[in-house]
Amino acid sequence: MLTALSLPADPGQLLASQARLLDTAYRDAAGRITAGTDVSVDRDGRLHVAALKAFPEPPSLLDLRKRVQAMLLRVDLPEVILEVMSWEPGFTAAFTTITGGRTRLAGLDTSIAACLAAHAMNIGFAPVISRGVPALERDRLAHVDHTYLCAENYAAANTHLIEAQARIPLAADWGGGHVAAVDGMRFVVAVPSIYARPSRKFFGPRRGVTWLNMINDQAAGLGYKVVAGTPRDTLHFLDVVFSQDGGQRPDVLVTDVGSYADLTFGLVHLLGMSYRPALADLPDHRLWRFDPTADYGPLNTAARGKIDTGRIGRNWPDILRVSASIYTGSVRAYDVVRALQRDGHPTPLGEAVASWGRIFKSFHVLALLDDESYRPDIKGIRNLQEGRHGLAGKIFHGRKGHIHERYHAGIEDQLGAPSSSSTRWTPTGMTSCSPSSSLASGAPSGPSSPRPWQRCRPGTRWCSGSQTGGDARPRTC
């Protein structure tokens, strides 16, 4: 286990190596802080970084976006789900009965797609019921919803979508799947539920939940979790990472400032990943160093904290046990985080993990100052996730976007599977709209241009496509 995490039994050499690397990073960053650059230091020694400037869009990109938008079909969500099912047989096959049986009903794919669409759009079954079509009768949909749609099947189905997304050349151009972002969407819960919590800022006089989700740089949704109210993401986002439905585990995790804590830096890096949160109020962040006598010029005041290597060494065996427990799934990261910061006051072990994390927090802040591509990369994956949240909000449009059912296992995946189907459909639709299109010929593109969800709309009814055969195909009528 220590080999898998690249952690030694004795931290001495590892700490010495990190000390050398951090010292070099400080000196490099200090040497590049000059007047007229984006980085400045005020009289009190606090750091300031200028806001990111938008890159101008060349005319060729504007033309490409316009032509791609014109080529993409306008499709309803149920059409997207059924088409993706035809491309990925494993997606449909993942929905087995709760008893584990393999009996397949005639038209089961249509029934499953109808249930997925009804749940995702928050409209209930009434709009998708079609009398005279066996796959869309009320009794059939109720049976499929109860028997085939469960948390385990949602996760298994999403695995096929993640793997399929990674095989698409256009999605591979967007990224290698090594970077992922974790963030949350908030929903009002309109019925009494012990899982809903009040927050006047986000829910007004109502109660609500947060849908935490993880998306990689290929625009694939990797995992989801519903948490009560609006707690700090710090407590939960590692559980999303270690319970992902499929795909490779990301090497880099990006979050907003709500997930930031020294303890989080420590845990993420102990688990073999790099943590890059968006930091607010950079002047208020204190940096940490190993050698208090080292001269880092304009960074001396900011780097006023000293890393407690003694505390790390004394608690290293327990740090290794905690890391291994989370990595193997023996304990939830949520429980570990709560135990390490009991009632908001870190335990001695929690302080040791936080001391370890301050090393990598300092690396992170220095990279924000010194690496020109570092901040745009973080901004890019966060923009991608915000766009996917826009897709989810557009899909979950019924009943004012409020949740009208109590929490049950799998509710977090009801929105994830259709959203993943939409993002799975888009790259194929973009590259197959026209064989001679500039996308097919390898022109530069990215997941933010055009937006994958701009041509997907929620459908409202399911109509019989054949009066004689009763073949049900979803479309707006």
Give me the tens of pLDDT residue by residue for the chain, a chain 477 residues long: 777 888 999 999 999 999 999 999 999 998 888 766 778 888 788 888 888 888 889 999 999 989 988 887 787 888 888 888 888 899 988 998 887 777 678 889 999 999 998 888 888 889 999 989 999 999 999 999 999 988 888 889 999 989 988 998 888 888 899 999 999 888 888 888 877 888 888 888 888 888 889 999 998 889 888 888 777 767 788 999 998 988 899 999 999 876 678 899 999 999 999 999 988 767 667 899 999 999 998 899 889 899 999 999 999 999 999 999 999 989 999 899 889 987 778 899 999 999 999 999 999 999 988 888 898 899 999 999 998 888 888 888 777 778 777 665 656 566 666 677 777 666 655 545 443 333 333 333 344 433 444 444 555 444 433 333 344 444 433
Q: What pLDDT, on the 0 to 100 scale, is given for residue 250?
A: 94
Cis bond upstream, residue 59 (ω within 30): no
Backbone phi and psi for residue 348, each to the nearest 5 degrees, phi listed first: -55, -40
DSSP annotation string for 24-65: HHHHHHHHH--TTSSEEE-TT--EEEPPPPPPPPPHHHHHHH
Rounded CA-CA distance 473/76 in Å is: 11
Q: Are 234 and 228 in contact (CB under 8 A)?
A: no
Q: What pLDDT, on the 0 to 100 scale, is given for residue 459?
A: 54
Cα-based angle 157, 230, 257 (whole degrees, multiple of 5) = 90
Q: What are 132's two structure tokens? A: 């005279």
391: number of CA atoms within 13 Å, CB side? 30
Closest CA to 366 of 250, 294, 279: 279
By three-state DSSP, how is residue 17 classified?
Answer: helix
Q: What pLDDT, on the 0 to 100 scale, is given for residue 318?
A: 95
Q: What pLDDT, on the 0 to 100 scale, is given for residue 119?
A: 87
| Plot region of 247 (φ>0 → left; ψ -120 to 50 → alpha; else → beta) | left
Closest CA to 187 of 6, 389, 373: 389
Q: How distant is the alpha carbon of residue 321 from its chain centre? A: 27
Rounded CA-CA distance 37/57 in Å is: 23
Task: Tell me the pairing of strands 179-189 and 288-289.
Answer: unpaired
Q: What pLDDT, on the 0 to 100 scale, is given for residue 449?
A: 39
By three-state DSSP, how is residue 191 classified?
Answer: coil
In angstroms, what CA-CA distances link 179 with 236, 241, 440?
18, 12, 25
By three-state DSSP, how is residue 211 classified?
Answer: strand
Rounded CA-CA distance 424/33 in Å is: 44
Q: Are 210 and 185 in contact (CB under 8 A)?
A: yes
Q: What are 330's two structure tokens? A: 């023996």
Q: Are 225 and 240 in contact (CB under 8 A)?
A: yes
Q: Are 429 and 444 in contact (CB under 8 A)?
A: no
Q: What are 37's two structure tokens? A: 């650059």
Q: What pLDDT, on the 0 to 100 scale, is given for residue 458?
A: 57
The DSSP symbol for 279 reads P
Rounded CA-CA distance 387/391 in Å is: 6
Closest CA to 17 of 27, 7, 5, 3: 7
Neighbours of 142 (CB within 10 A): 13
Q: Are 127 and 118 in contact (CB under 8 A)?
A: yes
Closest CA to 27 of 295, 426, 291: 295
Rounded CA-CA distance 341/233 in Å is: 15
Rounded CA-CA distance 456/102 in Å is: 32
Q: What pLDDT, on the 0 to 100 scale, is given for residue 429?
A: 53
